[in-house]
Amino acid sequence: MKRIKIALIGCGFIADYHARGLQLLDDVEIAAVVGLPLESAKLFAEKYNIPDFTTDYSDVLVRKDIDGVIIGTPNKFHAPYAIEFMKNGKDVFLEKPMAMNSIEGENVINVAEENNRIVMVGHMWRFDEETKFIRDLVLSGKIGNIVKTKGYGIHENWGPEGWFTKKEIAGGGALADMGVHAIDTVRFILGDPKPKEVYAKIGTYYGDYDVDDTGIIMITWDNGTTSIIESGWWHPHMDGPEASTQLFGTKGYAALFPTKVKFTPNNDLQEIKIPKFNKTEHCDQSIYSNQMAHFINCIKTRNTPSPGFKEGQTVLKIVDAAYKSAEIGSVISL
């Protein structure tokens, strides 16, 4: 069986999770890593026994032996790098968000379709055991029709630095960084409905930067559910960790992180067994390992990844609409 050769574009914090996941797969070789400065790329290569390292992504671009790339760069480079790699015959895994905005996202989609390339997007909570458990419960109808949800993407007493806080490079702040996790997670749990309307209040209150650190977003889905998403950095309190979601149904209530279920008095089901989840931490390595295994399998089978560019683009459209809504002070229809 042919070994799949992968290159990591970016060697920051998230790249460690991807590298560890890839090294669990017998038929995968991490063939190269690209990073800045050169010393960082060298240290990363030594840590994971990667044969080649460089500061220039074009060194990987021209290699015919590379099957796919994992792009974990600042957001500004997601779409342009993905487009160049796809035009040169590589499949692409893009860290979230897929692009700086939905216009760039559309360009990624067009190039992927024109070149028959795989694009997977790093909305990793779809690979979490607890998330899948709650999704299965919701889609079974056991807690009835979902009337509303509340989701969170907040850092309590903490916030990122560097490129994350620069609009020119990140595209947005806490919403683009943290809110996207909560948005995609609840959409996954609900069975991937389409957004109809978005209304948002977004601002900057906790830091000196040109991006947002506070957001309240309301999304109306085409299945009738309304979702409230809160995003933030440096907040003095959070109601739940990253991607924590509450779902209020006509027959009961379900929560993700902490995972629990309640039923209304008129529900025939009054108890459900919540399994023991094999995780050591909230953002567990197993989530990223499952994600990498799915990407590699899609490269082999040419199956469409989930989440792929359609899911990534839906999140981008919601984020764009939220920023526009906050700017003009009214609802945006999608």
pLDDT of residue 78: 98
Cα 133 from chain centroid (whole Å): 19
Residues 130 and 116 in one domain: no
pLDDT of residue 189: 98
CATH number at residue 46: 3.40.50.720
- Give the whole-angstrom CA distance, residue 305 versus residue 295: 7
Q: What is the mean pLDDT of the chain?
A: 97
Number of domains in the chain: 2
Residues 173 and 37 in one domain: no
Residue pLDDT tens, the chain, 334 long: 689 999 999 999 999 999 999 999 999 999 999 999 999 999 999 999 999 999 999 999 999 999 999 999 999 999 999 999 999 999 999 999 999 999 999 999 999 999 999 999 999 999 999 999 999 999 999 999 999 999 999 999 999 999 999 999 999 999 999 999 999 999 999 999 999 999 999 999 999 999 999 999 999 999 999 999 999 999 999 999 999 999 999 999 999 999 999 999 888 887 888 999 999 999 999 999 999 999 999 999 999 999 999 999 999 999 999 999 999 999 999 9
Residues 35 and 118 in one domain: yes
CATH number at residue 151: 3.30.360.10
The pTM assigned to this predicted structure is 0.97
CB 245 within 8 A of CB 185: yes
CB 228 within 8 A of CB 322: no
Residues 119 and 54 in one domain: yes
Residues 173 and 320 in one domain: yes
Strands 4-9 and 68-71: parallel
Residues 207 and 262 in one domain: yes
Instruction: Write out pLDDT tens, residues 66-122.
Output: 999 999 999 999 999 999 999 999 999 999 999 999 999 999 999 999 999 999 999
Residues 327 and 178 in one domain: yes
CB 193 within 8 A of CB 225: yes
Range of the domain at 168: 125-284+315-333
Residues 148 and 222 in one domain: yes
pLDDT of residue 1: 63
Residues 10 and 111 in one domain: yes
Residues 156 and 88 in one domain: no
Residues 147 and 192 in one domain: yes
pLDDT of residue 248: 98
Residues 241 and 133 in one domain: yes
Please state, in angstroms and as integers, the Cα–Cα distance from residue 83 to each residue in 22, 63, 106, 300, following that order. Answer: 23, 16, 11, 20
